[in-house]
Structure 1
Amino acid sequence: MSTTFDPVAFKATTRAQWEQAAEAWHRWGPAIESWLGAATDTMLDAAEIGQGSRVLDIAAGAGGQTLAAARRVGPTGRVLATDIAPAILAYAAQAAADAGLSNVDTVEADGEDLAAVAETGYDAAISRVGLIYFPDQQAALAAIRRVLRPGGRISAVVYSTADANPFFAIPVSIIRRRAQLPPPAPGQPGPFSLGGPGVAEQALAEAGFTGITVTRVPSPLRLDSAAECVRFERESFGALHQMMSGLSQEEREDAWREISEQLTQFDGPKGFEGPCEMLVVAAATPV
């Protein structure tokens, strides 16, 4: 088994996995917004999004944060939602239409170059649990800086460290062991790739951003039971399926059984509460 990271293959499988998980991620939308609502509000605050703002949403997925931004910018503002997976982006477009938001546009775009984003001069760029999965985060940050106006802001939600996010780290660890995957090297994509002390700050500084801030947001995942958490992750966490790609169907089922057993430790009298901590990283382009 090759242990050499292939960014081209990774991006292709990422797109394929999110195409497959699009319906589920949309269907789990209410649970996702409950889970990530506080971090999303903090991200939009840090991006200084208000009435009339022009906002670019990177790796927008099914668009929960897109709609939140659109409500803030109002009828005089615009939000452009981008994603590498057109199937999941279609759900964002439909959600905006269903919500009566006419100030949202969508375009399929690779977040590492944003060549499909013709306009520049955006007031803010946001990304909710998306930047962590780019094979070349510096390319993505350079592309974002290019489309922002001078003094424009970037704000992103990322996971902190694995030990603060066991609801996700436990499945990742189990699958990594069973699939015999090496730990990700520094700079490689993954859920915790920007969570270490100083890592996000260094990445933004290297990309030329200034006024960098990092805010910790407790974001426990609350569901009815560990079994429901496993359903959520199994149906909609493309990263886990991507890691399992080298396992047989029987091996995958065995892995999910072990994950289920381990996650029951977070079941309690009030249901499942999976510890989770998000970071909101924010900065500005030089004026």
Structure 2
Amino acid sequence: MSAPAGFDARRFKAQERAGFNRIAARYAEGAHLRADLATALLDAADLAPGQTVLDLASGPGLLARDAAARIAPGGWVLASDIADGMLAEGARRTTAEGKSDALGFAAADAEHLCLPDASFDRVLAGLALFMFPHPQQALAEMRRVLRPGGRIALSVWGPREAVPLIARAQDCIARQLPPPKVARPSVFRFGDAAALTIALTEAGFADVHIAPCPFRCHFADAESYWQAFLDLAGGAAEALSRLPEATQATLRAAVEADLASHRTEDGGFTVEALALVATARS
């Protein structure tokens, strides 16, 4: 899947890095919202003691930390991300919790991994593939660093209509703001299981298996939902943060109106999402 016309991958990555670095601590604190998806991904990875694991786009290492618990004793997990501030937050939390023995952190671009061939038993990528400007290049790198017979396990957002968790906010942004001069790659570009299967197969992976993973997120109020969206939006959130306060207030009001159908008896909102969890062998 090619990038939009006029798209600058280097600029995009710089914006993503800046956006995620800015919200590193808050991102880590919101991980509970996606706990069911993280568990499904780790289960699909078929982790076992003694394995070496690479977690791509790891952020503050939340998935990597849980993976480290599953490959003990004798295993090791490397958490990598282009956002070094996210990794620093993860390292700080891991050290504070006394769980750093089997977990390392290293800044890395998933499309250009400075890692030896055939050096990992497993590669994980949670909600990440759609963020890579050149996903086929990233998949090629994942396969390169996997040992023969190693397994990749990744998650992506499902079809847009099945992910109001993201689509509600996107709809409000599209109504309230002019379209960007250069479109960003869609976070739903692998939402079709067939498209994801083709991408993995063309990258040389075998035994591709894709399973749906529906989950729900509950928010005390509309502001909590909006903040959770921003925490997932990376570079897009960085651009939104520069808008005039009046425009941001208009966006927040529009979001609250659009969430009306998700209101619960306690006055909060429960918003659904569907992810796809894919596994394949090198």
TM-score (norm 2): 0.90
1:107 aligns with 2:106: yes
Q: CA deviation at 1:10?
A: 1.0
Q: Any idea what the Cα deviations from partners look like across 1:147-180, whole Å, max 9, x if unmatched? A: 1000111111111011111121111122134333
- The 3 A distance-change label for structure 1 pair 163 and 26 is same
Aligned partner of 2:92 in structure 1 is: 94
Measure, in 1, the Cα distance between the counterparts of 2:91 and 2:259.
34
Confirm or deny: 8 A CA contact 1:158 1:279 kept in the other structure.
yes
Q: CA deviation at 1:240?
A: 4.0
Measure, in 2, the Cα distance between the counterparts of 1:82 and 1:41.
19
Measure, in 2, the Cα distance between the counterparts of 1:225 and 1:133.
28
TM-score (norm 1): 0.88
Aligned partner of 1:75 in structure 2 is: 73
Q: Secondary structure at the match of 2:23?
A: helix
Q: Any idea what the Cα deviations from partners look like across 1:231-273, whole Å, max 9, x if unmatched? A: 3334563254156378544323322221122123211114321
Alignment-mate amino acid for residue 260 of structure 1: E
Measure, in 1, the Cα distance between the counterparts of 2:181 and 2:126.
24
| Percent of paired sites with the same residue | 30
Aligned partner of 1:223 in structure 2 is: 219
Measure, in 2, the Cα distance between the counterparts of 1:264 and 1:100.
43
Q: Which consecutive residues of structure 2, in runs of 5 or more, have no partner in the other structure?
A: none
Q: CA deviation at 1:112?
A: 0.9
Aligned partner of 2:6 in structure 1 is: 4
Confirm or deny: 8 A CA contact 1:225 1:267 kept in the other structure.
no
Measure, in 1, the Cα distance between the counterparts of 2:242 and 2:105.
33
Aligned residue among 251, 257, 260 for 2:256: 260
Q: Any idea what the Cα deviations from partners look like across 1:14-50, whole Å, max 9, x if unmatched? A: 111111111211232xxx23x3222222212222211
Confirm or deny: 8 A CA contact 2:117 2:144 kept in the other structure.
no
Aligned residue among 249, 265, 284 for 2:281: 284
Alignment-mate amino acid for residue 265 of structure 1: S
1:189 aligns with 2:185: yes
Aligned partner of 1:167 in structure 2 is: 165
Q: Secondary structure at the match of 2:210?
A: strand
Measure, in 1, the Cα distance between the counterparts of 2:212 and 2:147.
27
Confirm or deny: 8 A CA contact 2:60 2:87 kept in the other structure.
yes
Confirm or deny: 8 A CA contact 2:78 2:105 kept in the other structure.
yes
Confirm or deny: 8 A CA contact 2:52 2:77 kept in the other structure.
yes
Q: Secondary structure at the match of 1:275?
A: strand
Alignment-mate amino acid for residue 83 of structure 2: A
Measure, in 1, the Cα distance between the counterparts of 2:261 and 2:163.
14
Alignment-mate amino acid for residue 155 of structure 2: V
Figure out how many residues of one structure are paired with residues of the other and give that number: 277
Measure, in 2, the Cα distance between the counterparts of 1:99 and 1:92.
11
Confirm or deny: 8 A CA contact 2:20 2:231 kept in the other structure.
no
- The 3 A distance-change label for structure 1 pair 235 and 194 is closer
Q: Any idea what the Cα deviations from partners look like across 1:87-146, whole Å, max 9, x if unmatched? A: 01112212222332210000000011112x347420000011112100100111011111
Q: Secondary structure at the match of 1:71?
A: helix
Alignment-mate amino acid for residue 25 of structure 2: E
Stretch of structure 1 that moved more, 176-185 or 36-45:
176-185
Aligned partner of 1:136 in structure 2 is: 134
